[in-house]
Structure 1
Amino acid sequence: MSELPDATRRRLLSAAAGAGAAALAGCANVEVGDGGTETTATPKYDVAVSHDETAWAKYDPDWAGPTDPPVPADVTVEVLVENLEIPWDLAFAPDGDLFITERTGNVLRFDAGEVTEVTAPDGVLDAEAMEPGTDERSWFIAGGEGGMLGIAVHPAYPDAPYIYTYYTTQPDGEPKTNRIARFDVSADDPAATEEVLVDGIPGDAIHNGGRIAFGPANYLWATIGDAGEKELAQDPSALPGSVLRLTPDGQPHPDNPETGDPRVFTYGHRNPQGITWLPDARPIITEHGPDGRGETNLLRAGANYGWPEVRTAEAYAGDDEYAHPLTNSGEESWGICGCVFYTGEAVPPWSNRLVIGTLIGQHVNLVTLNREGEAPPRDEDAQVFDEPWYDDALAATSHRTLQDVLGRVRHVEQGPDGDLYAITSNRDGRPKSESPFPRERDDVLVRLTLAE
């Protein structure tokens, strides 16, 4: 396993964005922080997209899970950007541009080795980043777990030059809430083009969820935490503790379950912070658990995933009412977070596996999912999830790698080039007390490739 190489210090350049699509000027009513609206000149684009999941570039209904273990693999960790302020999410545009959020309120673009600021909306909760290299530990820094969180890019980008963000806001001392908003990054001032698509999602210092992504059929998905109100997770009419499936304009998917809020796809979640899709287009999420017990779940429309009623092996073993997990970390805390089902060839031993970042675990988990008839890679390093109470749709086997190499890994993502990218969360005050993180270069964006 290679040590982190030196890298050039982060550079913030001009705030201009570069996606200049032809547009017809128009006006839109945009919600502002105090709950009112203002009219702003906003270009209108042809945002129509196909909703045929079989047209997805990664679609493969006949995919097979690997049977060889994914480790050891000699992986090179290349630092691309240093001194980020608690980066939370990554999203690649179809043209290769990479957008990054920082919990402190910024949206950045990484292109051709340079970082530029795209926008910093006024309404984002003011989160705090610890200083690089500090020994200080503070579980609840300013902003708690809120701030600028998830990001997604419109599937028709740059013809529809929209980015979507999920962020925490707290106007005028009101309770914290989360919202999903859309911005035109081709505008001179993207913040002035904000369109709030989903507002009033309950927020808190903890459990804000926050991952958003476009799925194989070009619908927008969002993971919503229970915001510390765990009883609401059992109410499909409430947003806390749910996964939403939306149109690109923020409306309910036309085929969502009919029970409860029409935007809700599944419910009974605690604090889901990762979402990805198998090659057959089935969605998978990762979610934080209590006292360990982080989970990986295969989503089924309308299903109840049990929080807070079930979470332990004993409770699941006697239950036939709730959906069961593919993996559950038991009493060990992984701090399971952002994930991607990796299909690239830059790290061939990891291909066709679920790659998951962990926070308190300070490692990367490689989860192999196998169908009936396949031989799972269950060597001596494997953690096996084969008790009868697990979801038997797929056999799950986990291996861990990059232990304490990056520190707290917030998210991993596959780029258009097939490489793997990851961001750290070492300046959020929560590294282990004995950990060397944050280092002077933290936080970082890295690329993972197989060593030559």
Structure 2
Amino acid sequence: MSLKSSSRLARGMAAAFLIATASSPLSAEKIDSAAGQLQVDRIVSGLDAPWAVGFLPEGGLLITERDGALLLAREGQVNRVAGLPDIAADGQGGLLDVLIPRDFAQRRELFMTYAQPFGRRSATAVLRAKLSDDGARLLETKTIFTIAEPTNSGRHFGSRLVEAPDGHLFVTIGDRGDRPSAQDTGNHNGTVLKITRDGAAAPGNPGFDQPEIWSYGHRNPQGAALDASGQLYVVEHGARGGDEVNRVQRGANYGWPVISYGRHYSGLKIGEGTTRDGMEQPEHYWDPSIAPSGMMIYSGALWPQWEGDIFVGSLKFDYISRLSGSDISEVEQISGPMTNRVRDVREGPNGGIWFLSVGEGALYRITPG
């Protein structure tokens, strides 16, 4: 682990983690929604910049903290998992997403994304490892993929992981703050990748100069999920306005920075406007920006009326956005004191909606109230 990341962890070693038991959440609050009253239980407290959560089939869950900690929460305890590589915990980079594949029970293999250090530069990378039987450490750790061009920018790592229906991996990559590079398929910036579990280009990819690329022209996709048919959607940050939900198609160009529904932070126009031949339109966009991060498409297990709806966390306005309809639009904002800078949103094993709050440093579970 890098010196900066290690020192931050050392300062945090004394932080007290609190975790709920199955029968006794740390706290429980009620909030209203279009589907009736919701109960929001605080499950884990004491988190430092949490980024992602994943559920283990034997019970318990894994949480990543951006500054470089992987945490295992189960049976009323939270423990750090040893065995991570060096991590560049700087700016928006660090330890980011975690993916627990469908066959974890057989292989105990998991995947994470992180900012891999290269001196003063860093690059989005994908890590594969096995979790020991006791959950104490990572084994057989290997970085299977690193983007082609590390940079000294601490911005726009993207970094969500999704297991494709065929078992390969979708990986979202931000433009790293270099806008024109999102239109250059000679690098990986501003793309969605599709790779094998060994890090190679997946069979059937479009065949760009960088063969791992599935789609391009993205700005900073920080949420990704499959719908019930296996179709991939991503949600990505715009600049000043223009946050987007995109339906990701093989080989498609999503336009950044040539077209956008936002403006530069200076107020100047972005590119050519909002449309151009050969460039895809978003399924939905927000203006003003909500700073979307974390995305889940709901199964309908506990709320049948929400089946197929998209849930997205807002880092800027402190709510969970619910989107619905054949023409996707935001139909509800689920909010309360606990939805403070929502970084990740996931459906749990029993149909509850789980989310990570950066502002509260906590993991929450939503169930019918």
Q: What TM-score results when the alignment is normalised by the length of structure 2?
A: 0.83
1:146 is matched by which residue type in structure 2? G
Give the Cα separation in 2 of the matches to 1:324 and 1:150. Answer: 27
The corresponding residue for 1:147 is 94
Higher share in strand: 2
Superposed counterparts of 1:384-403, under 5 Å = 394-402=327-335
Query: Offset at 1:361?
Result: 1.7
1:449 is matched by which residue type in structure 2? T
Superposed counterparts of 1:408-423, under 5 Å = 408-423=341-356
3-state secondary structure, aligned to 1:216: coil
Tell me, yes or no, if structure 1 residue 115 matches structure 2 residue 64.
no
Structure 1 contact 154–248 (Cα < 8 Å) conserved: no
Query: Offset at 1:248?
Result: 1.6
Range with greater deviation from structure 2 (340-349 or 240-249):
340-349
1:156 is matched by which residue type in structure 2? D
Query: Offset at 1:265?
Result: 0.5
Tell me, yes or no, if structure 1 residue 341 matches structure 2 residue 297.
yes
3-state secondary structure, aligned to 1:233: helix
Greater relative contact order (Cα < 8 A, sep 6+):
1
Give the Cα separation in 1 of the matches to 2:115 and 2:275. Answer: 38
1:123 is matched by which residue type in structure 2? D
Give the Cα separation in 2 of the matches to 1:289 and 1:296. Answer: 10
Q: Which residue of 201, 209, 215 corresponds with 1:260?
A: 209
1:340 is matched by which residue type in structure 2? M
User: How far does the alpha carbon of each residue in 1:276-309 deviate from its partner, in whole angstroms, 9 at most, with x for none?
Assistant: 0111111100000000211000011000000000
Query: Offset at 1:75?
Result: 1.3
User: How far does the alpha carbon of each residue in 1:194-231 deviate from its partner, in whole angstroms, 9 at most, with x for none?
Assistant: 11100245353111111112123222111101111111
Tell me, yes or no, if structure 1 residue 424 matches structure 2 residue 357.
yes
Tell me, yes or no, if structure 1 residue 323 matches structure 2 residue 280.
yes
Give the Cα separation in 2 of the matches to 1:297 and 1:96. Answer: 33
Query: Offset at 1:420?
Result: 1.0
User: How far does the alpha carbon of each residue in 1:79-137 deviate from its partner, in whole angstroms, 9 at most, with x for none?
Assistant: 000010111011223444421101110111222333222235240123xxxxxxxxxxx
Give the Cα separation in 1 of the matches to 2:95 and 2:212. Answer: 22
Tell me, yes or no, if structure 1 residue 359 matches structure 2 residue 315.
yes
Superposed counterparts of 1:170-319, under 5 Å = 170-171=117-118, 173-186=119-132, 190-191=137-138, 193-200=140-147, 202=150, 204-312=153-261, 318-319=275-276
Q: Check 1:119–1:346 CA distance in 2 against 1; reply closer, same or farther (3 A cut).
A: farther
Structure 1 contact 337–358 (Cα < 8 Å) conserved: yes
3-state secondary structure, aligned to 2:182: helix
Give the Cα separation in 2 of the matches to 1:281 and 1:155. Answer: 14
Range with greater deviation from structure 2 (192-201 or 356-365):
192-201
Structure 1 contact 183–190 (Cα < 8 Å) conserved: no
Give the Cα separation in 2 of the matches to 1:151 and 1:257. Answer: 26
Give the Cα separation in 2 of the matches to 1:96 and 1:114. Answer: 12
Give the Cα separation in 2 of the matches to 1:120 and 1:104. Answer: 15
Structure 1 contact 11–116 (Cα < 8 Å) conserved: no
3-state secondary structure, aligned to 2:106: coil
Query: Offset at 1:191?
Result: 4.7
Query: Offset at 1:252?
Result: 1.2
Give the Cα separation in 2 of the matches to 1:206 and 1:446. Answer: 27
Structure 2 contact 220–237 (Cα < 8 Å) conserved: yes
2:286 is matched by which residue type in structure 1? S
The corresponding residue for 1:164 is 111
Structure 1 contact 364–403 (Cα < 8 Å) conserved: no
Query: Offset at 1:316?
Result: 5.6
Q: Check 1:405–1:106 CA distance in 2 against 1; reply closer, same or farther (3 A cut).
A: closer
Identity %: 28
Give the Cα separation in 2 of the matches to 1:278 and 1:149. Answer: 22
3-state secondary structure, aligned to 1:159: helix
Structure 1 contact 225–272 (Cα < 8 Å) conserved: yes
The corresponding residue for 1:447 is 365
Q: What TM-score results when the alignment is normalised by the length of structure 1?
A: 0.69
Structure 1 contact 75–347 (Cα < 8 Å) conserved: no
Give the Cα separation in 2 of the matches to 1:123 and 1:166. Answer: 12
Range with greater deviation from structure 2 (246-255 or 179-188):
179-188
Q: Structure 2: where are the runs of 5+ without partners?
A: 1-15, 20-32, 263-268
Query: Offset at 1:168?
Result: 1.0
2:315 is matched by which residue type in structure 1? L
The corresponding residue for 1:78 is 41
Structure 1 contact 169–178 (Cα < 8 Å) conserved: yes
How many residues are paired up? 330
3-state secondary structure, aligned to 1:100: strand
Structure 1 contact 96–416 (Cα < 8 Å) conserved: no
Give the Cα separation in 2 of the matches to 1:397 and 1:185. Answer: 38
Q: Check 1:415–1:282 CA distance in 2 against 1; reply closer, same or farther (3 A cut).
A: same
The corresponding residue for 1:382 is none
Give the Cα separation in 1 of the matches to 2:274 and 2:190. Answer: 22
Structure 1 contact 347–449 (Cα < 8 Å) conserved: no
Q: Check 1:423–1:149 CA distance in 2 against 1; reply closer, same or farther (3 A cut).
A: same
Q: Check 1:147–1:165 CA distance in 2 against 1; reply closer, same or farther (3 A cut).
A: same
Range with greater deviation from structure 2 (106-115 or 226-235):
106-115
Structure 1 contact 256–263 (Cα < 8 Å) conserved: yes
